Structure 1
């Protein structure tokens, strides 16, 4: 039978058991699929195992993972099966470090137009989380190596795993990554992790990045946006005055837009009052940006009504139009 036909039959079998994968028939199908060579079907089967929390099928998952490490670009293109298996084992709190160590060190170059691309960085990040969850003794060594990974997605995974570890041994690693410099998404994740692990110690460094007092391999705007995003996601009380004062000090239109949105994302009472004041009293351009930033709260009927009342009290037709556009956009 052609490969495509057998794969289609495997997917069809999985679809038939999705409503009850834990049944005897369902587990029999999952066992059969997990032992097959079709990585797409195995990835879907792994997801069902996680959904139904079928601990009895953990050995099948481990066996399949090892099988797809053999000639991986052919047996598991895109790293789909290994990624799904690692995610499932992480969710099921699998506690044997052997598989996660294989995964965190796995590199899978695959051909693309003009060269190759590594399809395994997400897998490395997932396995990092697995090692943290099981309290692997040498996890910081592995996470330090992952922070130096060539792929940004893997470095992001390392930063998230260090934050998840709640281990202050990760602070020096993250600070070094920040000081060396990185892409904006990686930098933001590292700063956020620092704010979670050691907020008081890390706030001065985040401010240095925000104000571009430290030199990195990024443009000033990208660097500032990374720091603003980390501050907004941290939800720290100290984040609001830092973002407010920075926003007041800058003139670049795009950065001001980033700053006002970061303030709104904090969802803190002081930040909300500041934005309402901008809508009521600031120059029209800033008032418009404040209304746009408050759009993230449009589902909060009471708060959005306050925004509407402030706009109506100002009696500015242009601001009223911005408000109506935001309402239509978010509520449609």
Structure 2
């Protein structure tokens, strides 16, 4: 019972610091970061971040190393919260983030063990990019191995981190990874059914870095009409450029799979192009895939003008 009362008291004290001024909260948070309980430390790190208390950076860094032992930090709660706070404070020493990117934490679960450090590795990958002491080549060298991580969230965050590097080499790495998975069936099977989300991160990253010039490259992934193709359609739509509409229109017109055609029509609506909206309204007026076009428009937060036109066509948004 005494340990429970102590935990409850610590938690109650932290709650009082939530609404305190940063100056009033600082001393209490410094003390909380020395606590043995990982949940308390995680809460303290989050509050430090919310209060913008960059002065607590040394205490956060010390606590991170203290909780590297899996027994003291189950689920990596403390380390993840600390890494997020340090990233928010633009912490420039990369060693903590590199340690977090490599950390594997096996914890017992029913029937065996499970690695609970995936979210930590992904968080640290994104945080590493803001370390100005590392040049772009070194950043990519550290991030590339994460594309082979067994956890999808880590691979996706690795792709997003590479995008943030923002160089030609970063774009080439994302292109290579997307094409490699696409062309090697055994690798795609090994990565599993969750691969499309990783494809989407690669497509979006390349389009963000290279702009409309990369649209023909992304368009090639529309052809299989599978989940990854749907991610490509959405990535193309997110560019919201005039050049994206002809590509998506062509994909919709040749689509054989009704599900994929619906995905492409939705992408056209989300591209926010006047030509795209006019095309979808034309489909409705001609009663060609009218229900699919209506759904695509109504789910895209259409303008008052578009909603009025849908009403005139007898296809109002509910």
Q: Retained in 2: the 8 A contact 1:128–1:161?
A: yes
When residues 41 and 139 of structure 1 are mapped into structure 2, their CA distance, relative to the original with a 3 A threshold, is same
Secondary structure class of the residue paired with 1:75: coil
Normalised by the size of structure 2, how large is the TM-score?
0.88
Could you state the TM-score of these two structures normalised by the residue count of structure 1? Answer: 0.85
Q: 1:69 to 1:243 in 2, by over 3 A?
A: same
Q: Does residue 166 of structure 2 align to residue 166 of structure 1?
A: yes
The alignment yields a C-alpha RMSD, in angstroms, of 1.9
Partner SS, residue 282 of structure 1: coil
Cα shift readout 1:121-178 (whole Å, capped 9, x = no counterpart): 2222221222211232211101111122221111101110111111221123212211
Taking the aligned partners of 2:199 and 2:146, their CA distance within structure 1 comes to: 14
- Is the contact between residue 241 and residue 273 of structure 2 (CA under 8 Å) also seen in structure 1? no
**Cα displacement string for residues 85-142 of structure 1 (whole angstroms, at most 9, x for unaligned residues):** 1111111111011111111111222222233322222222221222211232211101
State the match for 1:88 in structure 2: 85
Q: Using a 3 Å threshold, how does the CA distance of structure 1 residues 116 and 226 change in structure 2: closer, same or farther?
A: farther
1:239 to 213, 236, 244: 244
Q: Which runs of 5+ in 2 are unaligned?
A: 182-187, 189-194
Q: Residues 277 and 92 (structure 1 numbering): CA distance in 2 closer, same or farther, change over 3 Å?
A: same
For this pair of structures, how many residues does the alignment match?
303
Supply the distance in 1 between the matched residues of 2:284 and 2:207 (Cα, whole angstroms): 30
CA 1:237 to 1:311, structure 2 compared with 1: closer, same or farther past 3 Å?
A: closer
Q: 1:288 aligns with which of 285, 288, 291?
A: 291
In structure 1, the residue matched to 2:199 is 187
The answer to whether residue 83 in structure 2 is matched with residue 122 in structure 1 is no
Structure-2 separation of matches of 1:11 and 1:236 = 50
How far apart are residue 282 of structure 1 and its match?
3.4
Secondary structure in structure 2 of the residue aligned to 1:169:
helix
Give the gaps of 5 or more residues in structure 1: 213-219, 325-332
Q: 1:180 to 1:114 in 2, by over 3 A?
A: farther
> Are 2:61 and 2:96, in contact at CA under 8 Å, matched by a contact in 1?
yes
The 1:231/1:111 distance shift into structure 2, 3 A limit, reads farther
